[in-house]
Amino acid sequence: MTHPSDAGPAPVLALEDISKSFGAVRALRDVSLELFPGEVHALAGENGAGKSTLIKTLAGVHRPDAGRVLLDGEPVVFHGPGDARDAGIAVIYQEPTLFPDLSIAENIFMGRQPRRALGRIDHKATHAATLALMRRLGVELDPDRPARGLSIADQQIVEIAKALSFEARVLIMDEPTAALTGSEVARLFGVVRTLREQGAAVLFISHRLEEIFEICGRVTTLRDGALISSEPVDGMTEDDLVRRMVGRDLDELYPKKDVKPGQVALSVRRLTREGVFTDVSFEVRHGEIVGLAGLVGAGRTEVARAVFGIDRWDGGEVEVQGRKLVNGAPSTAMAAGLALVPEDRRAQGLVMDMSIERNIGLTGLRTTVRAGLVDRGAERSRSLDWAVKLQVKYARIADAVSTLSGGNQQKVVLAKWLATGPRVLIVDEPTRGIDVGTKAEVHRLLGELAADGVAVLMISSDLPEILGMADRVLVMHEGRLTAEIPRAEATEETVMAAATGRAAA
Amino acid sequence: MPESLTRAIRWDTVVGALLVVLLLLSFGTVDGFGNALNLSFLIGNTLPIALIALPMTLLVVSGEIDLSVASTAGLSGAVMGKLWNEGMAIETIIPLCLLLGVVCGLVNGLLVTRLGLPSLAVTIGTLAAYRGIAQIVLGSDAVTDFPSQYLDFAAGRVGNSFLPQAFLPFLVLLVIAVVVLHATPFGRSLFAIGANEEAARFAGIRVKRHKLILFTVTGLMASLTGIFWALHYASARYDNATGLELSVVAAVLLGGIDFDGGKGTLGGAVAGVFLLGALQNVMSLLNVSAQSQIVVTGVLLVISVLGPRVARQISVARAGRRAAASTPTS
């Protein structure tokens, strides 16, 4: 680990006593940060701690109200993202936005392609320059391949290559691993190490603590917009870091209660959707939390969608509490007591412009009815009830959900579904992108639901979460169920072996 | 105070206020505006737009559109004229024509929901098709000799007032539409579908069914409008109501219904309809040329697409600040 001492190299980029307010909210209070060439620096903090504001200040999106930004020791003012980019600062977002119909090379050199005579684009030079960038990153991607169909991991690589083509010296990676599989994370970390060796400064944001310990040399922690600490990662424990982020000891991240499973609640038999998943059979009992693990793309989400009726299945059957479900009909699945908390809360879970009250109300339109009209009083009390139970932080129940932080949005999605009083609950990546404090709350909630007799099927790419919460672990690999592992035998190794197809059950 | 401000900035309120201002100004300053005959013309001429605007508002809220409404109206009128010429009883003809409207709407709805085609494209197609069928049915004839009690109803006024008799049934339909959109689970679902169809599906809302119903009702209302049109102007021709769809869409957008779906109120849409109608009436009284009227309408349409967005951004910014201010993150 190279972590610079006072006598070492000067910081390439520094923030000095930066403050930024939005209206009455002080998003950043006197925050300082130094990034040195050749270091990977973690930025940690809960949702709403000020990480995004800090990144946007570095990237030239926000201008600080007070404090200075220093580039190579010289004060600079960024008037926009273009200024920051020209200064060698690049931001790699969680989900890059490429032009799908252009090739990788065209995406990288969009708007500044090498030219030949008469202003024609020099495709050969573009191709060669892209190849050189990929070689620098140690990644093999065909420059002529269209961006459409690239995995998120590959898209990030393209963004990183693009940043390098701008001679970026500071790379800010905003939760780059949130949507990546294990091997993709490993490749990304390889690239990050390469960048570090080439002298770049990397600011790395992740909710996965173990990643901070794996790749970062120093960590800066924010809480409520204030700087808590900036220190070397060596010698810290995960508990130390959590305490700095949350401001208290977290009782337990995985509060799993022992529950004796009851009757079969959800029974999936030989379910097949052609080309997507094949011959999937499993049961979930009342009071049980069953984890569904596997790599991204293994077909886990697709099984959940088909069970709930979003997609049709081609063969097999699904029973909820002894009632056969109709193929492709979410409303009958709901009537049978099934609920699905989808993986993408913005696209599938919420209507962002609609109020908290009405979002939660959407699943109750059939029940909160009087004389054919929506019973607004009942709708409000139902929504308030659940918003309070889940401790959603909001100003007014009539505010749009878009005004909430990510963790609170996820709670609204949960509230929306718990309000239906489900007996079988499928949660798909219930804690993706939410902070460790909220995560613990969601886990506690799932534990309580199971204790109340709800059958829970939990899809997650977060292995510690699966291992910590599930009574049994089902593993999918390439559209098939490859293993069923009881809690006692479930380890990272056994689950990963089944998920990657190295072991058959 | 901030909340009342935010409310006042809502676009549908703005359009309503504009309508009131325009009416007051016109009563005071435009010769011939305030007399009962002119007002009855204004309302009578606006009624066809208003009638179709009701289902169109629901459609646009759900993220769809139907551009074939004027052609459906024209086709209904043409079939009515043809059957009347053939000697069929008007009491039989009208239900048949309404049924025809249902079929027209159903065809649109099935093409959109079963084949997954965009409604803009589908209904541009049926716009041409339905109008073409109308011409085949009636040719260039004009049928004018409908029974007088029907003509009288469609053109008559309530007592000696300026209100057309047909305005009363319209009011009933308006109330029904307001209740359906703003107070029933069906209406609530339409907002969800328009704002985020995927999330609506995940919430168990039967999206396709909702849309199919909407297209069908729109067809029904379009044919009702076609019948009214032929009786009101005592003329059934194949080209009745040509171009009406643009007036309807313009008025609905002017009323603050978001073209992208998910936002708007029926009150706003109806205010938009009558604002456009009153404006055209006033411009005609002031001898503004037809060309200039089109320019004014066009400019209004652009404003109507911009205005609600600006208004919403202001109120979202306020709400966001309010929420952020009172939600300490700890």
Range of A77-91, A175-189, B211-225 with top mean pLDDT? B211-225
Residues A428, A146: Cα–Cα separation, whole Å: 30
- Considering only CB atoms, which chain B residues are within 8 Å of A399? 319, 322-323
A206: nearest Cα among A235, A232, A181, A173? A173
pLDDT at residue A206 is higher than 50: yes
Beta strands A74-76; A66-71: pairing state: antiparallel
Q: Please say whether the beta carbons of B205 and B198 come within 8 A.
A: no
- Considering only CB atoms, which chain B residues are within 8 Å of A378? none
A433: nearest Cα among A152, A179, A53, A151? A179
What is the average per-residue pLDDT within B229-247?
95
The C-alpha angle B113, B114, B115, rounded to 5 degrees, equals 100
Least confidently predicted of A142-146, A278-282, B2-6: B2-6
Q: Is B327–A342 a contact, with Cβ atoms under 8 angstroms apart?
A: no
For tokens 């693009």, the residue is A162
For tokens 């069908």, the residue is B216
Cβ under 8 Å to B: A residues 204-243: 224
For tokens 């929420």, the residue is B323
What is the average per-residue pLDDT within B232-247?
94
Q: Which band of pLDDT confidence, cut at 50, 70 and 90, is reported for residue B140?
A: very high
Contacts of A48 (CB under 8 A, 6+ apart): A224, A405, A407, A435, B329
**Cβ neighbourhood burial of B321 (10 Å; 0-12, 13-18, 19+):** middle
What is the average per-residue pLDDT within B233-256?
93
Give pLDDT, residue A384.
95
Average pLDDT of chain A, as a whole number: 89
Mutate to test the interface with B, among A373, A379, A404, A411 (most CBs of B within 10 A): A373
pLDDT at residue B123 is higher than 80: yes
- Considering only CB atoms, which chain B residues are within 8 Å of A343? none
Least confidently predicted of A264-278, B196-210, B300-314: B300-314
Q: Which residue has the higher pLDDT, B67 or A137?
A: B67
Taking the Cβ of residue A48 and every Cβ of chain B, the question of whether any pair is shorter than 8 Å is answered with yes
In order of A300, A425, A503, B301, B311, the CA distances from A482 in angstroms are: 12, 22, 8, 59, 54
ipTM field: 0.85
What is the average per-residue pLDDT within B239-266?
92
- Considering only CB atoms, which chain A residues are within 8 Å of B326? 395
Q: Which band of pLDDT confidence, cut at 50, 70 and 90, is reported for residue B320?
A: low
pLDDT at residue A3 is higher than 80: no
pLDDT tens per residue across span A262-278: 999 999 999 999 999 99
Taking the Cβ of residue A312 and every Cβ of chain B, the question of whether any pair is shorter than 8 Å is answered with no
Q: Is B325–A395 a contact, with Cβ atoms under 8 angstroms apart?
A: yes
Average pLDDT of chain B, as a whole number: 90
Q: Is A351–B196 a contact, with Cβ atoms under 8 angstroms apart?
A: yes
Q: Which residue has the higher pLDDT, A7 or B166?
A: B166
Residues A33, A28: Cα–Cα separation, whole Å: 12
Taking the Cβ of residue A115 and every Cβ of chain B, the question of whether any pair is shorter than 8 Å is answered with no
Q: Is A366–B185 a contact, with Cβ atoms under 8 angstroms apart?
A: yes
In order of A201, A254, B249, the CA distances from B244 in angstroms are: 62, 63, 9
Q: Is B327–A247 a contact, with Cβ atoms under 8 angstroms apart?
A: no
* Alpha-carbon Rg for chain A in angstroms: 24
Residues B3, B165: Cα–Cα separation, whole Å: 40
> Which tokens in the block code for residue A235?
């010698």
Residue A484 φ/ψ, nearest 5 degrees:
-130, 115
> Which tokens in the block code for residue A406?
């990510």
Dihedral sign, CA of A151, A157, A160, A166?
Answer: negative
CA B57 to chain A, closest CA, distance in angstroms equals 18
Contacts of B244 (CB under 8 A, 6+ apart): B48, B49, B52, B69, B70, B73, B225
In order of A118, A190, B191, B252, the CA distances from B62 in angstroms are: 49, 47, 6, 13
Q: Which band of pLDDT confidence, cut at 50, 70 and 90, is reported for residue A46?
A: confident
Nearest CA in chain A to B208: A329
What architecture is domain B3-315?
A: Orthogonal Bundle (1.10)
What is the average per-residue pLDDT within A455-473?
92
B261: nearest Cα among B222, B210, B216? B210
Give domain limits for chain B: 3-315
Give counts: helices (H), strands (E), chain A. 16, 22
- Considering only CB atoms, which chain B residues are within 8 Å of A435? none
Nearest CA in chain B to A437: B330
- Considering only CB atoms, which chain B residues are within 8 Å of A395? 322-323, 325-327
Least confidently predicted of A201-205, A231-235, B82-86, B304-308: B304-308
Cβ under 8 Å to B: A residues 49-68: 49
Q: Residue B164's beta-bridge partner residues?
A: B157
Q: Please say whether the beta carbons of A489 and A475 come within 8 A.
A: no
In order of A214, A282, B24, B111, the CA distances from A242 in angstroms are: 16, 36, 66, 55
Residues A35, A38: Cα–Cα separation, whole Å: 9
What is the average per-residue pLDDT within A6-20?
83
Q: Looking at the partner chain, which of A331, A354, A403 has a beta carbon nearest the beta carbon of B320? A: A403
pLDDT tens per residue across span A80-125: 888 998 899 999 887 778 888 899 999 998 877 777 877 788 888 8
Q: Is A395–B202 a contact, with Cβ atoms under 8 angstroms apart?
A: no
Q: Looking at the partner chain, which of A334, A396, A402 has a beta carbon nearest the beta carbon of B204? A: A334
pLDDT at residue B110 is higher than 90: yes
pTM recorded for the entire structure: 0.80
What is the average per-residue pLDDT within B224-251?
95
What is the average per-residue pLDDT within A28-42?
94
Beta strands A201-205; A40-44: pairing state: parallel
Residues A416, A418: Cα–Cα separation, whole Å: 6
pLDDT tens per residue across span A383-402: 999 999 998 888 889 999 98
Q: Please say whether the beta carbons of B319 and B3 come within 8 A.
A: no
Q: Is B323–A358 a contact, with Cβ atoms under 8 angstroms apart?
A: no
CA terminus-to-terminus distance, chain A:
40
CA–centroid distance for A331 within its chain: 28
Q: Is A310–B327 a contact, with Cβ atoms under 8 angstroms apart?
A: no
Cβ under 8 Å to B: A residues 143-172: none
- Considering only CB atoms, which chain A residues are within 8 Å of B179? 373
Q: In what order do the strands lie in the sheet with A338-341?
A: A338-341, A424-428, A455-459, A289-294, A472-477, A480-486
User: Which DSSP category does A455 fall into?
Assistant: E
E strand segments, A96-181: 170-174
Q: Looking at the partner chain, which of A25, A331, A362 has a beta carbon nearest the beta carbon of B325? A: A25
What is the average per-residue pLDDT within A396-419?
90
Mutate to test the interface with B, among A353, A358, A369 (most CBs of B within 10 A): A353
What is the average per-residue pLDDT within B11-29?
92
For tokens 């094949």, the residue is A278
- Considering only CB atoms, which chain A residues are within 8 Å of B189? 362, 365
pLDDT at residue B8 is higher than 50: no
Contacts of B216 (CB under 8 A, 6+ apart): B102, B105, B106, B109
Q: Please say whether the beta carbons of A262 and A286 come within 8 A.
A: yes
Give counts: helices (H), strands (E), chain B. 14, 0
> Which tokens in the block code for residue A277?
């998943």
Q: Is B324–A353 a contact, with Cβ atoms under 8 angstroms apart?
A: no
Q: Which residue has the higher pLDDT, B301 or B27?
A: B27
How does DSSP assign A292-340, residue by residue? EEE-TTSSHHHHHHHHHTSS--SEEEEEETTEEPPTT-HHHHHHTTEEE
- Considering only CB atoms, which chain B residues are within 8 Å of A351? 191-192, 195-196, 199-200, 262
B71: nearest Cα among B105, B45, B42? B105
Taking the Cβ of residue A25 and every Cβ of chain B, the question of whether any pair is shorter than 8 Å is answered with yes
Q: Is A46–B328 a contact, with Cβ atoms under 8 angstroms apart?
A: no
Taking the Cβ of residue A330 and every Cβ of chain B, the question of whether any pair is shorter than 8 Å is answered with yes
Q: Looking at the partner chain, which of A48, A372, A416 has a beta carbon nearest the beta carbon of B184? A: A372
Contacts of A57 (CB under 8 A, 6+ apart): A15, A18, A20, A28, A63, A64, A69
pLDDT tens per residue across span A212-236: 999 999 999 998 889 999 999 998 9
User: What b/e readout covers B175-201, taking b as 16+ CB neighbours within 10 angstroms?
Assistant: eebbebbebbbbbbbbbbbbbbbbbbb
Give pLDDT, residue A115.
79
User: Which DSSP category does A10 fall into?
Assistant: P
Residues B30, A102: Cα–Cα separation, whole Å: 59
- Considering only CB atoms, which chain A residues are within 8 Å of B198? 347-348
> Which tokens in the block code for residue B127?
């716009």
Residue A281: Cβ within 10 Å count: 12
What is the average per-residue pLDDT within B306-311?
75
Give pLDDT, residue B318.
64
How many residue contacts between A and B have a Cβ separation below 8 Å?
110
Task: State the amino acid at position A406 in one-letter form.
Answer: G
B→A contacts (Cβ < 8 Å), by residue, are: 179, 183-185, 188-189, 191-192, 195-196, 198-206, 262-263, 316, 319-330
Taking the Cβ of residue A22 and every Cβ of chain B, the question of whether any pair is shorter than 8 Å is answered with yes
Q: Please say whether the beta carbons of A402 and B222 come within 8 A.
A: no
Residues B269, B258: Cα–Cα separation, whole Å: 11
Q: Is A394–B179 a contact, with Cβ atoms under 8 angstroms apart?
A: no
Q: Which band of pLDDT confidence, cut at 50, 70 and 90, is reported for residue B323?
A: very low
Q: Which band of pLDDT confidence, cut at 50, 70 and 90, is reported for residue B245?
A: very high
Q: Is B323–A354 a contact, with Cβ atoms under 8 angstroms apart?
A: no
